[in-house]
Chains A and B, each alone.
Chain A
Amino acid sequence: MKKCILFSALAMFMAQPAFALSVDEIVAKANHTAYYQGADGKAKVQMVITDSQGRERSRNFTILRKDVDDAGDTEQKFYVYFSRPADVNKTAFLVWKQIDKDDDRWLYLPALDLVKRIAASDERTSFVGSHFFYEDVSGRTPSEDTHELIEETDNYYVLKSTPKNLKLVEFAYYKNWIHKSTFIPVKTEFYDAGDKAYRTYEALKVDTINGFPTVTQSKMTDTNIGGFTVMGYSKVNYDIGLPEDIFSERYLRAAPRQYLR
């Protein structure tokens, strides 16, 4: 057994290239690639939610995103404008993503002209009834987890991330396959305390848009809930010069149509 460990240690040592990135650097780059490319961005999203009995429901929306401080990969603002199904048509959703405190969230209900403030204490609840959580859409703060590099392959850094505060989340840890040249997280598996992977994110398709490798189709499967959700992104654009005041009550009440097309 001693020999075995020595062998493995040697193998792992030899696998490390001379310019190896630290785990935190890999995580930071992956976080940047997944959520912070460009100073701002826009995408039209078609979401198809398939429940445990195979029934499909759809959500169509446009998402606008702006980094508050583009250099820092910290606070961001999101504006989500729904077009379908009919009962959510013209509903708008605004998020000010915060790093060390709860996000600020507002929902605009057009039939009532109502701007509703939403409590955002739990990031790990379903986003619009899908298998994606709010946190999957807007990003999980890297410093909430401890990360370790458990494997490195030709294509991937495989990381294991363990939450610092287990009480805030439903998983025990997750594993992330991060593509080495683009830093796109291609697959994420969430494990429960019994080491069972119950929730899986997959990047199904990547396109390079404005020079940024971008996931244009992704899937979340959750065996606890049953079923899966596929998100398809179209009309993706970066650095479109979104003014920051788009992300305010003014534009909840009067949608910024020129940016939503």
Chain B
Amino acid sequence: MRQATRSTLCFLFLYANVAGAEEPSLPPGLGGSEPSLPAGLGVDEPALPAGLDSLPVEIPANDRAASDWKESLPFDFTGYAETRLGTRLQSDATQKSASIGEARLHLGATKSWEGTTASLAGDFLYDPVLDSHSVELESGEGWFDLREANLLFRPTDFSDIKVGRQILTWGTGDLIFINDLFPKDWNSFFIGRDEEYLKAPSDALKIALFHEFANLDIAYTPRFDSDRFIDGRRISYFNQNAGNIVGRNMPVFVDKPSRWFSEDEIALRLYRMINAYETALYYYDGYWKSPNGQDAASGLFTFPALSVYGASIRGPLAGGIGNAELGYYDSGDDSSGNNPLIRNSEWRLLVGYERELLAEFTGSVQYYLERMENHDAYRASLPVGVFARDKNRHVVTVRLTKLLMNQNLTLSLFNFYSPSDEDGYLRPKINYKLDDNWTLETGGNIFFGKRNETFFGQFEDNSNVYVSVRYGF
């Protein structure tokens, strides 16, 4: 008896040493310190441990309710309702003090048949900061903004075609675009709308061709789609003619290329993976996307001809992701660079690196260069006393992103800083997902600079903060 007890104790002692002290609870029917068999394993299944009897797991009631009505629809439906309020941090004589006061309802529907997908998405919105609410589908003005209306189909195994209104993006930059010459909405970006609204839709035909050697994207826009550019109506800017910052008092009037099939745009991307590296060559033929010229006779701002030739590479580098992108902007209407009313040709270069710095904390840096061609000709052409841009504009960006609380809270900071222009733009943001439907966000768009004439410096009086509440469904 004594012997048996001793043996048992010694066995337990040894076992405890090997297996560790923390043992899973004993389910009924099992003698060892081991987990019970899950349902479906073995013939003689042990009873489930207490607390696991309610399988399968109940999905939350609100989510289940949401899924019921959405799944009864014959198409995939999604959307959100949002209100976003913002104010300038300083008075701007040319603008209202509110920077944004928006109520927005985004609705999106997708329907797929065999080989074809139709997408429709649009936003109903009202913002009293604007005085006019009539709908302009092309520029996205007014109470309705059509974001997507397209058909995607696959005529052959090696091609995808998407035709209609669509958002198009390529290139490697983070909020810096060299070879992505698809339209941007700078107003949305600067007043603190969700980042997705930086991309404005294109009315285009996109043909994607796939081959083992390389893939080719062809994006054809039959009628030029400009940026939703800074025009003074929401964001004040530096006007060279006025020699000052202007806004609602002096909105930009443009003469925009708008003839179908002749004033068009084509953008090409030839790309392939080389090991883990994504490489691409780009070509664009069209127009400067924001007004970069002026007609001397009419005084209207113009979109001079532009061709771009570029290349990029992106891939793993030192535990993170590195990228480099280059583009040559050929300003065809002023190839010699001596017309002061048309922007000169330039080289653009971007080098970036991103990596995780700590758990749930990511950092990235980018260096960006705009190098003007024919800088001497440009300087010689300028009237006396007019601000002259440097030959090289250097910009450094830093992004820091920290995720907290099971990734429901995001703190982020993005800063543009130009040592050559001595100006910059800071975008702090806090985003909190209250639950599966509600999201709260607050952030700012802080411009700073020493001079009114530089790119970010001119927007200084537009610095703003905003808050938003969104319900997604």
Q: Is the CB of B406 within 8 A of A175?
A: no
The stretch that binds A, out of B35-43, B229-237, B259-267, B341-349, is B35-43
- Is the Cβ of B152 less than 8 Å from the Cβ of A254? yes
18 A-B pairs whose Cβ atoms sit less than 8 Å apart in the complex? A7-B10, A51-B405, A84-B436, A85-B436, A85-B437, A102-B316, A104-B276, A113-B168, A113-B169, A115-B170, A118-B321, A119-B316, A155-B30, A158-B19, A250-B210, A254-B117, A254-B162, A254-B208
Q: How far is the CA of A225 from the CA of B360 in the complex (A)?
A: 13
Contacts of A239 in B (CB 8 A): none
CB-defined contacts of A46 to chain B, threshold 8 Å: 59
Of all chain B residues, the one with the shortest Cβ separation from A156 is B34
Distance in angstroms from B244 CB to nearest chain A CB is: 35
- Tell me which residues from 221 to 261 in chain A have a Cβ below 8 Å from any Cβ of chain B: 225, 227, 230, 232, 245, 249-250, 253-254, 257
**B340 on the interface (CB 8 Å rule)?**
no
Which A residues are within 8 Å of any B CB, using their own CB? 1, 3-5, 7-8, 11, 46, 48-49, 51, 55-58, 84-87, 89-90, 101-102, 104, 109, 111-115, 117-119, 121-122, 125-126, 128-130, 150-151, 153-156, 158, 175, 177, 179, 181-182, 184, 186-187, 189, 191, 195-197, 202-208, 213, 215-217, 225, 227, 230, 232, 245, 249-250, 253-254, 257
Contact indicator B18/A151 (Cβ below 8 Å) = yes
Q: Roughly how many angstroms separate A115 CA and B312 CA in the complex, as a whole number?
A: 14
How far is the CB of A152 from the nearest CB of chain B, in Å?
10
* Interchain CB contact under 8 A, B321 and A117: yes
Give the Cβ gap from B66 to chain A, nearest Cβ, in Å.
8
- Known pairs A57-B433, A86-B473; list 4 more (Cβ under 8 Å): A119-B321, A181-B42, A250-B215, A254-B152
B160 touches A250 (CB 8 A): yes
Count of residues in B whose CB is under 8 Å from the partner chain:
82
List, in ascending order, chain B residues with CB within 8 A of A48's CB: 57, 59-60
Pick the contact of B13 from A4, A57, A119, A207 — CB < 8 Å? A4
**A219 shortest CB reach to chain B, Å:** 8
Most chain A CB inside 10 Å of its own CB: which residue of B40, B154, B208, B436: B40
Inter-chain contact B356/A119, CB cutoff 8 Å: yes
User: Contact between B406 and A225 (Cβ–Cβ < 8 Å)?
Assistant: yes
Assuming the A-B contacts A129-B406, A203-B38, A206-B39, are A217 and B56 also in contact, with contact meaning beta carbons closer than 8 angstroms in the complex? yes
- Residue B7 lies at the interface, judged by CB distance under 8 Å to chain A: yes
User: Which residue on chain B has the smallest CB distance to residue A195?
Assistant: B20
A57 to chain B, nearest CB (A): 5
Interface pair B407/A182, CB less than 8 Å apart: no
CB distance from B55 to the nearest CB of A (A): 6
Nearest-neighbour CB distance to chain A for B17, whole angstroms, equals 10
Determine if A179 and B37 form an interchain contact, defined as CB atoms under 8 angstroms apart.
yes
Flag B264-289 by CB within 8 Å of A: 1 or 0 each.
00000001000010100000000000
* Contact of A204 with B38 at beta-carbon distance under 8 Å, contacts A84-B63, A126-B406 already known: yes
The interface residues of chain A lying within 8 Å CB-to-CB of B169 are 112-115
Check A206 against B40 for contact (C-beta < 8 Å): yes
Report yes or no: A119 in contact with B40, Cβ–Cβ below 8 A. no
Most chain A C-beta atoms within 10 Å of own C-beta, residue among B6, B30, B57, B355: B57
Is A122 touching B356 in the complex (CB atoms < 8 A)? yes
**Given A8-B11, A187-B24, A250-B215, residue A182 in contact with residue B41 (CB < 8 A):** yes
**B314 within 8 A of partner (CB):** yes
> Are the CB atoms of A257 and B59 closer together than 8 Å?
no
Given A111-B167, A128-B407, A129-B407, are A207 and B40 neighbors across the interface (CB < 8 Å)? yes
Residues on the B chain within 8 Å of A112, using CB: 167, 169, 195-196, 198-199
Inside 8 A of A225's CB, which chain B residues have their CB? 406
Q: Closest CB of chain B to A158's CB: distance in Å?
A: 7
